[in-house]
């Protein structure tokens, strides 16, 4: 087959768009295909936050950070990883990734200094001012358009094409009118995200969260893992995922974790707490899963007032997702919970937060608690945001076999590749791990794919 393009990018989320821009700017001809009728994927649903250590934005804000500190933070949070070299490379290139987004792509991003994020010991998240991932995607799309890179939506890659030597030579694609078409490419970059939207794969690799509501974009159906297994790719960190312990029910929007972080608690149907909520919104997801659904978040007026600064929280409250009561008994009545159990739970927790006794579940960070005055309750379910495991790749995104050798011409990044959140579970996710892998590895893979083409042409 004659190559139609130098680099074929499959998937038009942050990873695919970053990869396409980097490959184009390095001199390749590039095409992007996207199976849904609009680009963006999970990247559009995210807050668009990308962590980086040592950026000029941190220096301007007087924040002392280093790549070693960032690595320590990720390892402390995630524990052992299948890909230590990849983690180091993405951290070491993180400042350049964020500055590339701002300077080359034209992304409107700023350092978030108002608060630290889960897993990070200093402010290092860089995000759109709106905190909407859609803004980051829009800026990436504008850069793609400026460069004249073709992006075909409604084009679903159905299989990878390989030659007799098992080198990848493009993809078999279904067009919007249902026709099959072969796109030949010198290099293919898989930017299709993970498998959180594929129940079978979630049950196989992340069984503790199997059955949780999937709360991401429709496109994350696991092709990277499915195709990778067919062609002998190794998988890494495959049990890791990002969950959310408090999706409001039945409204379906997220109950801001600020309500819990600032001292709120989560109780089960019996009105009892069941763990240390300070594990974080992702880390606490399996605890909520294990209770059977639904559970109930409880906080007080001061916490409500702090969280009221967040638009989505106020929307939820205005739609009746958060209910207010003057007493524990009235609070329990909203959801037909045992009033005496709720009162006892609050009494016990408040004693611990005042230091009168150790917390039954080891919580040490009580923020604004004890919970006093008017109380609020929200019914919550656990959710699954995205999976963090995927194809084993080298530090440029080349997909690897179990023997460590690359599969010729195939690259992966973002949710399609092994992530940065440890080997398994929800507790290893530090804020921004998803997008650092998407933008950072997408950019590295786009550049490396183009350099390979140049070397092959010169040889």
333: phi then psi, degrees, rounded to nearest 5: -65, -30
Q: Does 219 bind ligand FAD (CB under 6 A)?
A: yes
Letters for 355-394 (x = contact with ligand FAD by CB under 6 A, - = none) are ------------------------------xx--------
Neighbours of 71 (CB within 10 A): 17
Sole window of 20-28, 34-42, 60-68, 264-272 interacting with ligand FAD (rule: CB under 6 A): 34-42
| 70: Cα separation from own chain's centroid | 17
382: phi then psi, degrees, rounded to nearest 5: -80, 150
Q: Does 86 bind ligand FAD (CB under 6 A)?
A: no
Site residues for ligand FAD, 111-130, by CB under 6 A, read none
Q: Does 248 bind ligand FAD (CB under 6 A)?
A: no
Q: Does 73 bind ligand FAD (CB under 6 A)?
A: no
Site size toward ligand FAD (CB under 6 A) is: 40
Report whether 266 contacts 245 (CB < 8 A): yes
Nearer to ligand FAD, 218 or 354 (CB): 218
Distance CA 400, CA 224 (A): 13
Sole window of 37-45, 140-148, 335-343, 349-357 interacting with ligand FAD (rule: CB under 6 A): 37-45
Report whether 412 contacts 224 (CB < 8 A): yes
Of 6, 8, 13, 420, the one binding ligand FAD (CB under 6 A) is 13
**Minimum distance from CB of 227 to ligand FAD (Å)?**
9
Nearer to ligand FAD, 40 or 422 (CB): 40
Q: Does 237 bind ligand FAD (CB under 6 A)?
A: no
Distance CA 80, CA 239 (A): 12
Both tokens of residue 216?
């991401």
**Minimum distance from CB of 86 to ligand FAD (Å)?**
14
Distance CA 326, CA 200 (A): 45
Q: Does 15 bind ligand FAD (CB under 6 A)?
A: yes
Distance CA 411, CA 398 (A): 4
Q: Does 78 bind ligand FAD (CB under 6 A)?
A: no
Report whether 378 contacts 290 (CB < 8 A): no
**Minimum distance from CB of 97 to ligand FAD (Å)?**
12
Both tokens of residue 59?
């220096």
Report whether 448 contacts 396 (CB < 8 A): yes
Closest CA to 95 of 443, 336, 440: 440
Q: Does 282 bind ligand FAD (CB under 6 A)?
A: no
The residue count for the chain? 459
Q: Does 42 bind ligand FAD (CB under 6 A)?
A: yes
Q: Where does this chain bind ligand FAD (CB under 6 A)?
A: 10-16, 33-36, 39-43, 45-47, 49, 156-157, 191-193, 215-217, 219-220, 223, 385-386, 414-415, 432-435, 438
């Amino acid at each position: 087959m004659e190559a139609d393009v130098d680099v074929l990018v499959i998937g038009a989320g942050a990873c695919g768009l970053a990869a396409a821009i980097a490959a184009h700017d390095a001199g390749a001809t590039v095409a992007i295909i996207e199976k849904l009728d609009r680009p963006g994927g999970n990247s559009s649903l995210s807050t668009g936050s990308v962590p980086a250590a040592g950026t000029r934005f941190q220096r301007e804000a007087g924040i002392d950070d280093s790549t070693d500190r960032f690595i320590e933070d990720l390892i402390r949070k995630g524990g052992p990883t299948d890909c230590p070299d990849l983690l180091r490379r993405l951290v070491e290139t993180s400042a350049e990734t964020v500055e590339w987004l701002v300077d080359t792509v034209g992304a409107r991003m700023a350092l978030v200094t108002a608060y630290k994020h889960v897993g990070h010991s200093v402010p290092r998240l860089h995000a759109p001012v709106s905190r909407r991932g859609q803004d980051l995607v829009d800026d990436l799309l504008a850069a793609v358009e400026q460069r004249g890179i073709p992006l075909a939506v409604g084009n679903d890659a159905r299989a990878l094409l390989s030659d007799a030597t098992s080198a990848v030579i493009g993809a078999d694609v279904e067009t919007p009118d249902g026709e099959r078409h072969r796109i030949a490419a010198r290099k293919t970059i898989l930017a299709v995200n993970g498998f959180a939207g594929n129940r079978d794969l979630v049950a196989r690799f992340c069984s503790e969260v199997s059955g949780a509501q999937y709360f991401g974009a429709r496109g994350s159906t696991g092709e990277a893992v499915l195709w990778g297994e067919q062609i002998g790719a190794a998988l890494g960190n495959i049990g890791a995922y990002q969950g959310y312990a408090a999706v409001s029910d039945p409204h379906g929007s997220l109950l801001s974790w600020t309500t819990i972080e600032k001292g709120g608690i989560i109780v089960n149907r019996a009105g009892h707490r069941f763990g240390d909520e300070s594990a974080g919104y992702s880390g606490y997801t399996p605890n909520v899963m294990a209770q059977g659904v639904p559970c109930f978040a409880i906080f007080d007026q001061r916490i409500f007032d702090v969280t009221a600064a967040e638009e989505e929280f106020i929307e939820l409250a205005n739609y009746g997702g958060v209910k207010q009561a003057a007493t524990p008994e009235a609070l329990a009545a909203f959801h037909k919970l045992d009033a005496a159990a709720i009162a006892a739970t609050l009494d016990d927790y408040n004693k611990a937060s005042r230091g009168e006794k150790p917390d039954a579940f080891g919580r040490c960070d009580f923020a604004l608690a004890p919970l006093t005055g008017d109380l609020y309750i929200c019914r919550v379910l656990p959710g699954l945001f995205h999976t963090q495991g995927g194809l084993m790749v080298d530090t440029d995104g080349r997909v690897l076999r179990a023997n460590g050798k690359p599969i010729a011409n195939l690259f992966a990044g973002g949710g399609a590749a092994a992530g940065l959140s440890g080997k398994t579970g929800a507790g290893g996710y530090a804020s921004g791990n998803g997008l650092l892998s998407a933008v950072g590895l997408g950019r590295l893979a786009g550049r490396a794919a183009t350099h390979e083409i140049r070397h092959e042409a010169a040889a």
